[in-house]
Amino acid sequence: MARSFRREWTVAPGWRLLGAALALGLAFLAATNERAFNAFFRLDARLLDQWQRLAPPDEPTGEVVVVGIDAAAIREKGRWPWARADLAELVEAVAAAGPRSVTLDILLTEPGPYSEVNLMRAFRARGPEAISLLPVVPDARLAAAIASAPTALAVAGASTRAIDDLPGLTQCADRALLEAGPQPFHVECLLFPLALFEQAASGYAATFAEQDLDGVLRRARAFVGQPILTEAGERAEAFLPAMPVSALTVCAESNAECLSYDARMEFLAEGGSRELRLWRADGTGPPPAPLTPSLGLWLDFGALPGLGAEGTGPARLVSAAALLQGDVAEAARLTDKHVLIGLTRLGSIDQYTTPLAREDGAPGVVIQALAADNILAGRVLRAPDWAEDAALAYAGFAAFLALIRFGGVSVALLIGFGMASAAAPILAGWAAFAFGGLVLSPTMPALSAILAGAPVVFGRVSAIRRQLAEARETRAREEERMDAAREIQLGSLPFDADFTALGFETASICRPAQEVGGDFFELFRLSDGRLFAAVGDVSGKGLEASLVTALSKSITGAVTDRTEGPLGAALAAVAREFVRQAPGAWRREKGGFVTLALVRIDPETGEAEFAAAGCEPPLVIGADGAARPLTLPAVAPLGWMEAPDFETARLTLRRGDTILIFTDGVHEAETPGGDLFGEARAAEIAAEAAPGGAAAVVKALEEAVSRHQAGRAPTDDTTILAVTWRGAAG
């Protein structure tokens, strides 16, 4: 019954359809709704942050060095922004160290106080007195310093026309072109440096901080672009390298280590690789850096501590103060390196929250250096184009799983499977990051698996609760029927039979192992005046055995009473009638049988006859406890033979003799360890109690069996019947 019950543990179609609908609905929402997409992006990004914190730190390549204008440099030269002469002094110190390239993360969009423009203003205001200022032109000095080494100058990107007071420096795209074909890498306006510095520089470096929706910077730009119209009136794109790319590619052409890139951006064409490839003249170079559709680079921040923040003593951060003070050892660290110069003082506005610098933030120039270092080391994380499709496909897979019936599976296994399905995308995302440098989107498929599984589990629990309630009701009804059957069965046994008037003392017990059992006994006076006693044991237990028991009991008494001759002949007649009336399927297919022991006693003379089928003959014990042997051959139980023959044993009882008959529930009773009670022990206990008569024998044997079982539930029905002959009455 338990097996068929478990097969019914299936989830109703409504719950399964709900789970599939929730999973697919979530996937559809994430694919079509911007707010939902952004919410999952934030969750995915937070997971990526956590994985980066748990990952071991990376060693910087050592090829990118930051010259930081830190607190010490501010103390050296005064508050920021510095005078152009001070900035020129710093650039001169860097250029003198022989770097491979220099990148200024400083906007040079305002003329200095002693520039030609400002000198003319001063001349108008102060007259000839301003001529004394002409020998000192710090802007020209800074321009000369910039020209002394391959230098890239910062170009600011902006999304609006925010600068109107710097004519000639701002380059903005045509709004109509932007609206006609917008691209993720587009910027509306670019703010260039002054022409004096622009002419001295070797290239541009677009500085662009791309913070995510939660304010954390996780990506750097590789390029920015603006739509333009060619002379032929055709639409085209003008690209400008961002600072990480410029820092690696703006160098002296004669330098064999100089890197370059495809300025035509052919990798963006139809079927392009979407990978930024930098190479040297000999064709070698760092591994390709994968680009997001916005030409962004997903950064691995593992090398951030090695590039350094103020006060940590980093290996790749040189203080501007040390260079200004002429520190030769610090200057030597810049030789043949890609150098970025920028503000690193804590508290400056150029600070950004990153996965590994969340409290005080990391300086923008350090993040740009990290991006360049990632490119050189091949550590740029890849956000594959198929990641979103894979997330949607997994949501569909979760929906498919929700539709499976999962019949017979336990709730614990179902919950475990659901948790594994939800954890699989998270674990896959971690493995992809740790071993493949991939950025996946695990939160949406994980949540879709939860939404798909929750109704299924709830439906399974509901089904089990409903079926358990039905099972309890069925069990209660069955128990009522079994209790009624037990009462009927036990009520049919002659417990209250009293034959003291005939000179007999009788005692009996019958204990079914279940609600109803297969044991029975009979005790009545035959029509010829003799006392008849019988004990039977039907194979099996439960309701089926109880029905055969009732049949056996009725046949035994009725057939014996009407059969003349020895008791063995009466038992043979009982056996034949039993074969005729017993269920054939029960006998043939289940091997059903009945063991039976019969006794017939003349109350006047004590003459007793004994017969047995499939069991040991009854025990006869004298008043002194001595056993009186009976010999009967072993014969098959009722139901195994169509027409068996049984012998009859005869014995003349003495006054006080006790006849004891019991079923195998006595001698096969087990201890918790499995030791059997045994027939010999039963005979010994009966012999000790025999002087007390039938009641004493039954009580002593019952108590001994109970002590032997030591609380273990009986495995078989137990019946004991004792008859003591006291002699003919009066």
pLDDT score of 125: 59
Residue type, 520: F
Give the pair of three-digit tokens for residue 539: 């194979």
The 3-state DSSP class for residue 597 equals strand
pLDDT score of 4: 42
pLDDT score of 66: 94
Alpha carbons within 13 A on the beta-carbon side of 323: 29
pLDDT score of 102: 96
d(CA 374, CA 437): 12
Q: Which CATH number fits domain 495-725: 2.40.50.100, 3.60.40.10, 3.30.470.20, 3.40.710.10?
A: 3.60.40.10
Q: What are φ and ψ of residue 275, in 5° steps?
A: -125, 130
DSSP 150-162: -EEEEEEEESS--
- Where in the chain are the domains? 2-52+388-467, 59-377, 495-725
pLDDT score of 312: 44
Burial pattern 226-255, b for ≥16 Cβ within 10 A else e, equals: bbeeeeeeeeebebbbbbbbbbbbbbeeee
Give the pair of three-digit tokens for residue 81: 């922004």
pLDDT score of 299: 93
d(CA 91, CA 47): 41
Which positions ≥6 away from 539 have C-beta within 8 Å? 518, 545, 590, 591, 592, 593, 594
Residue 380 contacts residue 329 (beta carbons within 8 Å): no
The 3-state DSSP class for residue 685 equals helix
pLDDT score of 443: 95
Give the pair of three-digit tokens for residue 70: 């830190």
d(CA 264, CA 352): 31
pLDDT score of 337: 93
Residues with pLDDT less than 50, the chain: 1-7, 135-136, 309-313
d(CA 468, CA 408): 14
